[in-house]
Amino acid sequence: MLPLEDLRAKLLAQRRELFRQAAQTEEDLLWLETDVEPEAMERGRTETMVRLLDRLDEREKLEIEAIDLALTRIETGSYGRCQGCGNDIPVARLQALPSATTCLACGVAREALKK
C-alpha cells in the first residue's frame, strides 16, 4: 500500500510553495493559508488563483498542473501506476517526486523522446 495521505500532503505542500512564490499581497497570502482541496479545484479556479497562476512562469505552471493531476489521480485511485508501462511506480520514486506519472525507466524514455 502506498502512503497516500503522506504523498497527498507532500503534493499540497509543493503546490502551496509554488503559489507562495507568486503571492505579493496580503490577500494572496491569506488565500494560501486556506487549504485548497482537490474537490474545490474541480469546482473551478478562484480569482486569486488565476491571478497567482498568471505570475508563474511556464515551468512552474507545468509543475502545478502535474501536481493537480497527481491529486486527481489519488482521488480516482489511479495514482502510483506508470502511464508508460502500467506497472506500479516504486514508492521511493513517488516519495522523491510525488507528481511522477511514470516509473524511472519510462520517465527517462520520455525525456529522450522530447529531445
Binding site for Zn ion (CB under 5 A): 82, 84-85, 103, 106
Comparing C-alpha atoms, which of 75, 73, 74, 31 is closest to residue 52? 31
**Shortest distance, position 86 Cβ to Zn ion, whole Å:** 7
Kindly tell me which of 13 and 105 has the beta carbon lying closer to Zn ion.
105
Kindly tell me which of 7 and 49 has the beta carbon lying closer to Zn ion.
7
DSSP at 115: -
Cα dihedral: 78, 81, 85, 89 (round 10) = 170
**Shortest distance, position 70 Cβ to Zn ion, whole Å:** 16
| φ and ψ at residue 89, rounded to 5 degrees | -80, 130
**Shortest distance, position 87 Cβ to Zn ion, whole Å:** 5
Kindly tell me which of 52 and 103 has the beta carbon lying closer to Zn ion.
103
